[in-house]
Amino acid sequence: MQKLLSAAPSSRTKVGELLLSDDVIEITNEELNKKNISISKLGILVLFLRKDFSENSLSPSAIAKRLRITRASVTNYLNWLEHQGYIQRRKLGKDQRNVDVQITEKGKTFLDEVHPFFLDVCADFSKALTDEEVAVMLKRLSKIHDSIG
């Protein structure tokens, strides 16, 4: 039988594992569930807050590319968001598949409520750290984020 792990993971591997921990995602989703939304669906709404994506509308393909998820996943999330009244899709031309996505007033109101809650959930993950440790961690994580583009 072939060994799957021949050596202990490196420190760099451990950092990546901690950042992508299922526990972090699970806890975040548990908290967001109190607001009846998942981190994946909220991620789409948050795109409308970003300066580089703050146009009035986005294509499903642009959403998939930015969030690095499949177009099928985007379609699934958009169906749910549209059913909730948070977004609307507008057909572009005769091709039924060519649409853009717009956030609705209900979606903006919901985002105004939920986004600060989400940021508080994120902040809670660092509550065991001192302010100095948070500053160092932020600097290092920003460097990682910048390197992956």
Contacts for 32 with CB less than 8 Å, ≥ 6 apart:
38, 39, 42, 114, 117, 118, 121
1 within a domain of the structure (yes/no) = no
Name the band, by pLDDT with cuts 50, 70 and 90, for residue 21.
confident
- CA-to-CA distance for 52 and 75, rounded, in angstroms? 22
Name the band, by pLDDT with cuts 50, 70 and 90, for residue 1.
very low
> In degrees, to the nearest 5, what angle opens at C-alpha 41 toward C-alphas 49 and 84?
95
Strand partners, 100: 90
Q: How many separate domains does the chain show?
A: 1
For 23: left if phi > 0, alpha if psi spans -120 to 50, otherwise beta; the answer is alpha
For residue 110, pLDDT over 70 is answered with yes
pTM of the complete model: 0.79
Q: What is the mean pLDDT of residues 34-56?
A: 85
48: domain CATH number is 1.10.10.10
* pLDDT attached to residue 9: 67
For residue 122, pLDDT over 50 is answered with yes
Q: What is the mean pLDDT of the chain?
A: 86
The percentage of residues in the chain with a pLDDT greater than 90, rounded to a whole number, is 51
Q: Which domain holds residue 78?
A: 23-148
